[in-house]
Chains A and B, each alone.
Chain A
Amino acid sequence: MTAPPAPPRLLLSGISKRYPSVVANDDVHLDIAPGEIHAVLGENGAGKSTLMKIIYGVTRPDSGEIRWEGKRVHIDSPAAARALGIGMVFQHFSLFETLTVSENVALATGLPSAGLSERIREVSNRYGLPIDPERLVHSLSVGERQRVEIVRCLLQSPRLLIMDEPTSVLTPQAVRQLFATLRQLAAEGCSILYISHKLDEIRELCERATVLRQGRVSGEADPRVESNDSLARLMIGSELPSCPLPPGTPGEVRLKLDAVSAKSEDPFGTALDGVSLEVKGGEIFGIAGISGNGQQELLRVLSGETLSEKAGDVRIAGVEAGRLGPAARRALGLGLGFVPEERLGRGAVPALSLADNALLTGARGAGLTKGPWILRGKVNAFAREIIARFRVKTPDETAAAQSLSGGNLQKFIIGREVLLSPAVMVAAQPTWGVDVGAAALIRGALVDLRAKGAAVLVISEELDELFEICDRIAVLADGRLSPSVPTRDASVELIGRWMSGDFTEVGHVQA
């Protein structure tokens, strides 16, 4: 008998999973060879997460079969998945901040703690992921925390490693380091399943890609020979919507911060250190930087959730607003529009209807109240206008905010703030976790605001996005704001250096 060709490391066939309201996976096929770096691409809600949960034993499929190295298996729990040799690095880390790296690893893996530190050091050095096992996790940067998660998986010698959106929190330099590690792992025979919506990264790293659309496999491709547009077509079924930025004519300064310093309410947060900036009407100002470098604190100072010491620290539409709360800032002149990073619970009340959520910040600007009374008819009409103008997918305005997908809810929140025609708009991570179609619509809305003369400030971790829509760009690193540079003169290298806190090379500086 001749030996059959080596079976795939993992073979999924006919996998289907239905939830009460949605078919998450429909007859999905996926195979991964040993040592292959395989991408799973798809918009939000395309079924990527469900598929990964099925592979990692968190969810069980309704039908279909899973073969691991040729043998049929049922993966009922993450423990069963790990026993097979499947490791997963989640997008959101699951580490105890008050414990050391080594204690975290011991807790999660059940490995004996004797000699564990040595093994962590050895594995982390071999794969170019240096970490000190004795450090407390809360003192680690986000990139270092991810290393802990990866090392934790590697200690269990996985033969398939699942990475869920691993680069969303990394600097460009750290991304390069991660890719080197992943290539080394693959060369040693470990298969890697790489989930992302960043097309550039997938084209750089992966040998094969399975594209999901609405729960079905819409195609398989070799990303190295595809273009961003062709991959995006597989994902969303049409051209990647582009958002060309027409030349603008900046007007007068609408938003000004004057050497603002602020302590953080979060004990592990970052204090702001002398942040100054000016945003003119008709201009989009982008602030890049990795979350945790003072973004939360800066946003609270801008929105009025944190009051400044001096009224003159924050000027909105020419008015000294440093001592005014959020409601007063919305009411100033044409007002301040604000889109927070957290959609559920801050930008919207989860259990309330979309109509009520339109009322949340629209009461004054859209004239939805009269004396003490809520004008229900106007509230509903305003909500319907947002839904129609921003193509929010929902049955109607009575649907609860929490029933919408992340992208749809974000469209609703952005729409609410935009329709109030603010003089100054502040948007934090406007397209974070949002699918390509919704992201294009959201960016288009911000550019439209700019055309109408509003001053727009965008804080985002996504450099691509900032380069696409911003007139000027600066970086927030460790609570300090870099000088700003016109986007056309900025390079990814310069931004990367600024992200590390080195502001010495400033290029074309504008105050």
Chain B
Amino acid sequence: MFKLEARPAPSALMRVASPLFAALAMALTGALLFWALGQPVGKAFYAFFVQPLTTAYGVGEWLLKATPLLLCALGLVIAYRANVWNIGAEGQLVMGAIAGGGVALAFPDASGPWLLPAMLAAGVLGGMAWAAVPAFLRTRFHTNEILVSLMLVYVAGLLLRYLVGGPWRDPDGFNFPQSRMFGEAAVLPLLHPEMRVTVVALLALLLTGGVWLFLARTWLGFRLTVAGQAPAAALYAGFGQKRNVWIALLASGGFAGLAGVAEVAGPLGQLQPSVSPGYGFAAIIVAFVGRLSAPGALLGALLMSLLFIGGETAQMELGLPAAITGLFQGLLLFYLLAADLFVNYRLRRVSPAATPALKEATR
């Protein structure tokens, strides 16, 4: 017989070990799954986790997909620390892409060095504007930001589809629902000529340090953390609650918007009906796997990115369905949440002698 009992203090070791346990359990379940699908387990794993990284191009793809995941996750780390549950990073990413892409399309012949910074700024503002909606509704009408931000994801998606299918459709594009290709000055420089990853990857790395510094060393970051952990203590100390909600949502919206514009100004080079394979949602898992810390989010984004490209390789090499990526992501989050139970609880053996003793006592 085992019994769950509360630990006297949360285990610092388990906080770090829990994502590792989760990754291991995900791999084991994955092995079982490959076996059940009749795939040779070793080969499947090789195709999923190793093969993508054997070429320079593959490494570039890995970093390329890790970048938007990291950017979205950094914003979510700030929001979740403040106990503000922004689930709509995907929608804010799309709005960032629309706003930034809109600037590129508005100045098709521009060649100045101001265009890219203007696009990035517009992307950040677009994501912020979209996140401002749940912030306003929560602070003014006490609506739930989880529902509002999530539903706005679909609104943003529909808006993008309307734009690329209607007003912004490429007139020379044979009626394909996509915009014109951006001009040369509107495309981000590459990190390395053999890879598709852009300089935004470096910016994301820089921002990782920035977010870490913000949360660990600034007064504002401290106030957000207090508001998230103990709302009554935040009120007692006089940290305005509404302000915290605004800051948390605007920060996460801005990061997601940056990820969105970096996608369209990077590997896509135009607006398409879909600009993200779900980076905004996957970033939620990244933020949690990264223990709501900036350096953790970096590692989490690299793992999650590997799942994305591994899933693609698995489709090509092994003929597995596309759902394999989502399946691995889901397994990871599932096992992480399960393993997190042991941060605050532990298993203890209960001696089987307990039962007869009870009888004696009640006799």
Q: Which residues on A are within 8 Å of B, measured CB to CB?
A: 19-21, 57, 73-77, 79-80, 83-84, 303-305, 325-330, 338, 340, 342, 345-352, 356, 359-361, 363, 369, 372-374, 376, 400, 402-403
A363 to B218, CA, bound (A): 11
Query: With contacts defined as CB atoms under 8 Å apart, how many contacts are there between chain A and chain B in the complex?
Result: 89
4 new A-B contacts, CB < 8 A, other than A326-B238, A345-B232, A374-B219, are A340-B236, A351-B229, A359-B222, A363-B219
Q: Which residue of A lies closest to B231 (CB)?
A: A345
- Within 8 Å by CB of A346, from B9, B233, B240, lies B233
Cβ–Cβ < 8 Å partners of B237 in chain A: 326-327, 360-361
Q: Are B219 and A372 in contact (CB under 8 A)?
A: yes
Chain B at the A interface: mostly helix, strand, loop or mixed? helix
Cβ–Cβ < 8 Å partners of A403 in chain B: 9
Q: Are B360 and A74 in contact (CB under 8 A)?
A: yes
- Within 8 Å by CB of A83, from B232, B235, B361, lies B361
Cβ–Cβ < 8 Å partners of A359 in chain B: 222
Residue among A305, A338, A349, A352 with the highest chain B CB neighbour number at 10 A: A349
- Within 8 Å by CB of B9, from A76, A327, A400, lies A400
- B225 at interface (Cβ–Cβ under 8 A)? yes
Minimal beta-carbon separation of B9 from chain A (angstroms): 6
- B21 at interface (Cβ–Cβ under 8 A)? no
Q: Are B9 and A402 in contact (CB under 8 A)?
A: yes
Given contacts A76-B361, A83-B362, contact A376 B217 (CB under 8 A): yes
- Within 8 Å by CB of B233, from A20, A330, A360, lies A360
- Which 10 A-B pairs have CB atoms at the shortest separation, nearest pair first? A327-B238, A326-B238, A74-B357, A346-B232, A76-B358, A80-B361, A349-B230, A83-B362, A369-B219, A73-B361
Minimal beta-carbon separation of A31 from chain B (angstroms): 19
Q: How large is the interface on B (under 10, 10 to 19, 20 to 34, 35 or more residues)?
A: 20 to 34
A303 to B218, CA, bound (A): 25
Given contacts A349-B226, A402-B9, contact A372 B232 (CB under 8 A): no
A305 to B238, CA, bound (A): 8
A361 to B232, CA, bound (A): 13
A325 to B229, CA, bound (A): 21
A350 to B229, CA, bound (A): 8
Q: Are B361 and A374 in contact (CB under 8 A)?
A: no
Cβ–Cβ < 8 Å partners of B238 in chain A: 304, 325-330
- Within 8 Å by CB of B218, from A83, A356, A373, lies A373
A400 to B15, CA, bound (A): 16
Q: Are B361 and A345 in contact (CB under 8 A)?
A: no
Q: Which residues on B are within 8 Å of A, measured CB to CB?
A: 8-10, 217-220, 222, 225-226, 229-230, 232-233, 235-240, 354, 357-358, 360-362
A361 to B8, CA, bound (A): 27
Q: Are A303 and B361 in contact (CB under 8 A)?
A: no
A22 to B255, CA, bound (A): 47
Q: Which residue of B lies closest to A81 (CB)?
A: B361
Cβ–Cβ < 8 Å partners of B235 in chain A: 305, 326, 346
Minimal beta-carbon separation of B1 from chain A (angstroms): 13
Cβ–Cβ < 8 Å partners of A21 in chain B: 8
- Within 8 Å by CB of A338, from B9, B225, B230, B236, lies B236
Cβ–Cβ < 8 Å partners of B360 in chain A: 73-74
A75 to B233, CA, bound (A): 40
A328 to B239, CA, bound (A): 10
A376 to B219, CA, bound (A): 11
A340 to B237, CA, bound (A): 11
Q: Are B362 and A350 in contact (CB under 8 A)?
A: no
A57 to B217, CA, bound (A): 47
Q: Are A326 and B222 in contact (CB under 8 A)?
A: no
Minimal beta-carbon separation of A63 from chain B (angstroms): 14
Minimal beta-carbon separation of B283 from chain A (angstroms): 24
Q: Which residue of B lies closest to A330 (CB)?
A: B238
Cβ–Cβ < 8 Å partners of B222 in chain A: 356, 359, 374
Minimal beta-carbon separation of A67 from chain B (angstroms): 12
Q: Are B230 and A350 in contact (CB under 8 A)?
A: yes
Q: Are B225 and A19 in contact (CB under 8 A)?
A: no
Residue among B220, B232, B236, B354 with the highest chain A CB neighbour number at 10 A: B236
Minimal beta-carbon separation of B292 from chain A (angstroms): 12
Q: Are B236 and A76 in contact (CB under 8 A)?
A: no
Minimal beta-carbon separation of B232 from chain A (angstroms): 4
Residue among B222, B225, B360 with the highest chain A CB neighbour number at 10 A: B222
Given contacts A21-B8, A345-B233, A349-B226, contact A372 B239 (CB under 8 A): no
**Mind listing 7 A-B residue pairs with CB under 8 Å?**
A57-B361, A76-B361, A330-B238, A342-B232, A346-B232, A361-B236, A403-B9
Q: Are A326 and B219 in contact (CB under 8 A)?
A: no
Cβ–Cβ < 8 Å partners of A304 in chain B: 238
Cβ–Cβ < 8 Å partners of B217 in chain A: 373-374, 376
Cβ–Cβ < 8 Å partners of B218 in chain A: 372-374
Cβ–Cβ < 8 Å partners of A351 in chain B: 10, 229
Q: Are B361 and A327 in contact (CB under 8 A)?
A: no
Q: Which residue of B lies closest to A376 (CB)?
A: B217
Given contacts A21-B8, A351-B229, contact A346 B236 (CB under 8 A): yes
A351 to B81, CA, bound (A): 13
Q: Which residue of B lies closest to A325 (CB)?
A: B238
Given contacts A73-B360, A80-B358, A361-B237, contact A373 B226 (CB under 8 A): no
Q: Are A327 and B239 in contact (CB under 8 A)?
A: yes
Q: Are A326 and B236 in contact (CB under 8 A)?
A: yes
A74 to B220, CA, bound (A): 55
Cβ–Cβ < 8 Å partners of B361 in chain A: 57, 73-76, 80, 83-84
Minimal beta-carbon separation of A396 from chain B (angstroms): 15
Cβ–Cβ < 8 Å partners of B220 in chain A: 372
A335 to B90, CA, bound (A): 45
Q: Are B236 and A303 in contact (CB under 8 A)?
A: yes
Minimal beta-carbon separation of A417 from chain B (angstroms): 11
A74 to B229, CA, bound (A): 41
Cβ–Cβ < 8 Å partners of A402 in chain B: 9
Q: Are A348 and B358 in contact (CB under 8 A)?
A: no
Q: Are B229 and A373 in contact (CB under 8 A)?
A: no
Minimal beta-carbon separation of B75 from chain A (angstroms): 19
A79 to B362, CA, bound (A): 9
- Within 8 Å by CB of A347, from B233, B239, B362, lies B233
A379 to B217, CA, bound (A): 11
Q: Which residue of A lies closest to B358 (CB)?
A: A76
Q: Are B362 and A352 in contact (CB under 8 A)?
A: no
A342 to B9, CA, bound (A): 20
A328 to B238, CA, bound (A): 8
Q: Are B358 and A74 in contact (CB under 8 A)?
A: yes
Q: Are B9 and A305 in contact (CB under 8 A)?
A: no
A361 to B235, CA, bound (A): 11
Cβ–Cβ < 8 Å partners of A80 in chain B: 358, 361-362
Cβ–Cβ < 8 Å partners of A348 in chain B: 230, 233
Q: Are A76 and B354 in contact (CB under 8 A)?
A: yes
A351 to B285, CA, bound (A): 23
Cβ–Cβ < 8 Å partners of A363 in chain B: 219
A304 to B230, CA, bound (A): 18
Residue among A79, A84, A360 with the highest chain B CB neighbour number at 10 A: A360
A376 to B229, CA, bound (A): 20
Minimal beta-carbon separation of A254 from chain B (angstroms): 20
Cβ–Cβ < 8 Å partners of A84 in chain B: 361-362
Given contacts A74-B357, A80-B361, A305-B235, contact A20 B8 (CB under 8 A): yes
